[in-house]
């Protein structure tokens, strides 16, 4: 049986993860935004030190692929010098904050994200995958983005902090936001959250304090599709994988002022010229937007199947949400999908209406059988 090597940590630039094509070096742009000059720098560094491929993760991080042990120290020095990575490995590891897209300088999301980032070192030691979202636009947009601590607004525009998995949160003032986060993090640690691993699991075992389950978050907003907006252009990145040539070409053609890396594997090019680049998704109704597929074999050593070719074929069939995973770790999608294929021993298990961890409806299918079955 193919048992994936579940790693209880996330790669960072300081501590990259080995994959089938070399080290993965992760960059988390601050509040998800880079000037176009920084975006070009990322592309240049990926060309110089990696294998020319960049991932865009579902939590709005970038990963330079194919880095060798020999060049990693030089790449790291360059990333720190460019202020794309914090010089302190501990702070860089803790800087797992996803900010609502479309924030503007000086707004609540910007102020909160900056304030939190300055004091992360004061938080207790949390499980390595712990994350924060600052989702304080008029409507929450990041409710399906993996995180443990969620800053959101209530229906009247007030601020709240919600433990992931709880339906309601705690009303807070902006000035007290970090202290409230610190208090919730301490509660998580002191009540055995380390063993639960993630907040969502922990709140099913341990009751939150009553006044932390009171404030009702505003209704979630619509997800943003690729296309042009008044202020710029959103493009989808198929499977979150792009070559440095594609990224450089897009930036040259669209000439944006800034680039936001968005959750759900999209880029927001601010003040961009409208362009259509063949390596990106511009059509808001593109079926590929509903498809997640990890790199699979041979790029990932855990995989026993290739993933993206079959995902592309199945995408055309409009099966709804589709997740093709090279193994049971399920890196590309954390939630359920209409159809999930999980690689195991060179074949696929098929889960309908569930996720990689759910009981499969069919097991041991060849690629041909999958294509026959999912017509």
CB of 295 to ligand SF4, least distance (A): 5
CB of 55 to ligand SF4, least distance (A): 10
**257/357 with CB nearer ligand SF4:** 357
Residue 329 interacting with ligand SF4 (CB under 6 A): yes
Choose among 267, 339, 275, 231: nearest CA to 42.
Answer: 267
CB 68 within 8 A of CB 23: yes
Q: Which of 12, 96, 302, 340 binds ligand SF4 (CB under 6 A)?
A: 302
CB of 4 to ligand SF4, least distance (A): 5
Q: Is 239 helix (H, G, I), strand (E, B) or coil?
A: helix
Q: Which of 310, 311, 327, 341 binds ligand SF4 (CB under 6 A)?
A: 327
**Angle of CA points 207, 58, 204, to nearest 5°:** 15
Q: Is 100 helix (H, G, I), strand (E, B) or coil?
A: coil
Q: Which of 43, 76, 84, 300 binds ligand SF4 (CB under 6 A)?
A: 300
CB of 225 to ligand SF4, least distance (A): 26
Name the token pair of 46. 């990926």
CB of 335 to ligand SF4, least distance (A): 14
Q: Which of residues 1-40 bind ligand SF4 (CB under 6 A)?
A: 4
CB 370 within 8 A of CB 363: no
Distance CA 153, CA 109 (A): 11
Place of tokens 């252009």: 233
Q: Which of 142, 303, 311, 337 binds ligand SF4 (CB under 6 A)?
A: 303
Reading phi first (left if > 0) and then psi (alpha if -120 to 50, else beta), residue 197 is in left
Q: Measured at CB, which residue is nearest to ligand SF4?
A: 326
Q: What are phi and psi of 151, to 5 degrees?
A: -90, 125
CB of 5 to ligand SF4, least distance (A): 7
Q: Which of 54, 325, 360, 370 binds ligand SF4 (CB under 6 A)?
A: 325
Name the token pair of 80. 């720190």
**79/294 with CB nearer ligand SF4:** 294
Distance CA 107, CA 69 (A): 41
Choose among 154, 186, 189: nearest CA to 172.
Answer: 154
**16/140 with CB nearer ligand SF4:** 16
CB of 84 to ligand SF4, least distance (A): 23
CB of 300 to ligand SF4, least distance (A): 3
Q: Which of residues 44-63 bind ligand SF4 (CB under 6 A)?
A: none
CB 160 within 8 A of CB 217: yes
CB of 342 to ligand SF4, least distance (A): 9
**36/327 with CB nearer ligand SF4:** 327
Distance CA 135, CA 348 (A): 36
Distance CA 24, CA 19 (A): 7
CB 13 within 8 A of CB 25: yes
CA distances for 237 relative to 60, 243, 250, 264, 363, angstroms = 12, 10, 11, 9, 30
**100/307 with CB nearer ligand SF4:** 307
Eight-state DSSP code of residue 357: T
Distance CA 276, CA 359 (A): 41
Q: Which of residues 269-298 bind ligand SF4 (CB under 6 A)?
A: 294-296
Q: Which stretch binds ligand SF4 (CB under 6 A): 154-162, 231-239, 267-275, 328-336?
A: 328-336
Q: Which stretch binds ligand SF4 (CB under 6 A): 126-134, 146-154, 271-279, 325-333?
A: 325-333
**39/311 with CB nearer ligand SF4:** 311
Q: Which stretch binds ligand SF4 (CB under 6 A): 43-51, 59-67, 159-167, 320-328?
A: 320-328
CB 161 within 8 A of CB 178: no
* Residues that bind ligand SF4 in the complex, under the rule CB under 6 A: 4, 294-296, 300, 302-303, 325-327, 329-331
């Amino acid at each position: 049986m193919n048992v994936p090597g579940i790693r209880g940590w996330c790669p960072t630039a300081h501590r990259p993860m080995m994959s089938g094509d070399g080290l993965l070096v992760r960059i988390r742009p601050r509040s998800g935004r880079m000037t176009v000059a920084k975006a070009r720098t990322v592309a240049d560094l990926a060309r110089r030190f990696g294998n020319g491929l960049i991932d865009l993760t579902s939590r709005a991080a970038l990963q330079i692929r194919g880095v060798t042990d020999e060049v990693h120290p030089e790449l790291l020095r360059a990333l720190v010098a460019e202020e794309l990575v914090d010089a302190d490995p501990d702070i860089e590891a803790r800087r797992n904050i996803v900010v609502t897209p479309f924030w503007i300088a000086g707004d609540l999301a910007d102020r909160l994200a900056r304030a939190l980032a300055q004091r992360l070192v004061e938080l207790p030691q949390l499980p390595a995958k712990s994350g924060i979202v600052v989702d304080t636009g008029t409507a929450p947009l990041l409710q399906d983005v993996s995180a443990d601590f969620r800053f959101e607004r209530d229906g009247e525009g007030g601020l709240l902090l919600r433990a992931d998995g709880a339906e309601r949160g705690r009303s807070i003032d902006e000035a007290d936001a970090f202290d409230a986060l610190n208090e919730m993090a301490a509660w998580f640690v002191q009540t055995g959250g380390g063993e639960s691993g993630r907040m969502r699991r922990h709140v099913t075992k341990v009751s939150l304090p009553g006044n932390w389950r009171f404030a009702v978050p505003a209704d979630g907003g619509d997800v943003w599709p690729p296309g042009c907006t008044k202020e710029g252009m959103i493009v989808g990145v198929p499977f979150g994988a792009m070559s440095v040539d594609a990224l450089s070409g897009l930036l040259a053609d669209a000439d944006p002022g800034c680039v936001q890396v968005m959750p759900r594997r999209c880029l927001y090019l601010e003040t961009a010229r409208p362009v259509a680049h063949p390596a990106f998704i511009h059509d808001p109704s593109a079926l590929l937007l509903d498809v997640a597929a990890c790199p699979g074999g041979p790029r990932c050593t855990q995989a026993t199947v290739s993933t993206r070719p079959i995902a592309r074929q199945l995408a055309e069939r409009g099966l709804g949400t589709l997740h093709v995973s090279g193994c049971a770790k399920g890196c590309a999608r954390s939630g359920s999908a209409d159809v999930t294929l999980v690689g195991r021993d060179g074949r696929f298990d098929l889960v309908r209406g569930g996720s990689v961890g759910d009981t499969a409806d069919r097991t041991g299918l060849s690629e041909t059988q999958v294509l026959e079955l999912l017509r």
